[in-house]
Amino acid sequence: MGMLCAVSFNRYGRLYYLDPGELRPAVGDRVLVPTDEGTEVAECVWAPQWVSEDTSGFPKLAGLAGERDLQRDESQRRRKAEAKVAAKKLIREHGLPMKVIAVDHVQESTGGTSSGARTTIYFTAPHRVDFRSLVRDLGATLHCRVELRQLSARDSARVQGGIGSCGRDLCCATFLTDFEPVTIRMAKDQDLPLNPLRISGACGRLMCCLKYEHPLYAQSGSYPTSGQRVETDEGTAKVVSRHPPSETVTVRQLSDGAVRRCSLSEVCGSRRAFDDQYG
């Protein structure tokens, strides 16, 4: 048992959980977070709270951000904005099929100069791109070392963030750490319409959430399939759809055409195969 707080490096960005240690930042406070490139400024979006989990493996806050830290953070944000504008302009001039997704700037030296700084530009492209001449021009324009990294469609959605069809923040931009394989078979097993607009996420690939409930559907061998006739307390009915998460099925009564949802125990006692051709 210990305390955890959540911070974000960007407004509405991904949350990172840390051990506050002796610090008690309030929501909206700027704090220092240890990273591979040194401490960075982030905003506290969830004040420290006691949790039942073991917090010994979480990184600790490095402290509260001071005036010098805020000035350094603002300087880095300006450098990122300048690099993004320069990259888009040079990409157009070189005629490359690239789209800039994000920019990261790290000041590796002290003294406020740009010597030793590194700017990383993340982009997407439909195929591999020869950007050697672009890197040279970017280095001459930004006066620092420049790296270009191509992102996949899923990584691009993770970096940019957004709202999914469910109305919530994208899973990949909030809590997913690894992308698990998602197949069209998962959509078929869940009786979802195989319409790309309905089962694709913001990245254009199959939605990661298809993986969440798939184990329930994979183990639903005892469920009647769509088109089968079953016996209910109101007579013979035809199965319209099944709902393994709630252990229910939707049926249409053959007597009056009424549609209702029944529990699995109500319909599995007596059922026989049904051929749609003769239904």
10-residue mean pLDDT profile of the chain (279 residues): values are 88 83 92 88 92 88 92 91 94 94 77 66 91 93 92 88 87 82 88 87 90 82 78 84 83 86 72 39
**What is the pLDDT at residue 140?**
93
This model's pTM is above 0.95: no
SS3 letters for the chain? CEEEEEEECCCCCCCEEEECCCCCCCCCCEEEEEECCEEEEEEEEEEEEEECCCCCCCCECCEECCHHHHHHHHHHHHHHHHHHHHHHHHHHHHCCCCEEEEEEEECCCCCCCCCCCEEEEEEECCCCCCCHHHHHHHHHHHCCEEEEEECCHHHHHHHHCCECCCCCECHHHCCCCCCCCCCHHHHHHCCCCCCHHHHECCCCCECHHHHCCHHHHHCCCCCCCCCCEEEECCEEEEEEEEEHHHCEEEEEECCCCCEEEEEHHHHCCCEECCCHHHC
Q: How many residues does the chain have?
A: 279
CA 200 to chain centre: 13
Q: Compute the distance between CA of residue 44 and CA of residue 13 in angstroms, rounded to an integer.
A: 12
Supply 92's token pair: 């157009």
Residue 101 confidence (pLDDT): 92
Q: Distance between CA 263 and CA 54 in Å, rounded?
A: 40
* CA pair distance 49, 5, nearest whole angstrom: 7
CA distances from 141 to 90, 127, 135, 136, 138 (A): 10, 26, 10, 9, 5
CA 127: distance to chain centroid? Answer: 23
The CA-atom distances, in angstroms, between 20 and each of 12, 27, 32, 40, 66 are: 21, 13, 11, 15, 17
- Here the tokens at position 212 are 């969440």
pLDDT at 275: 39
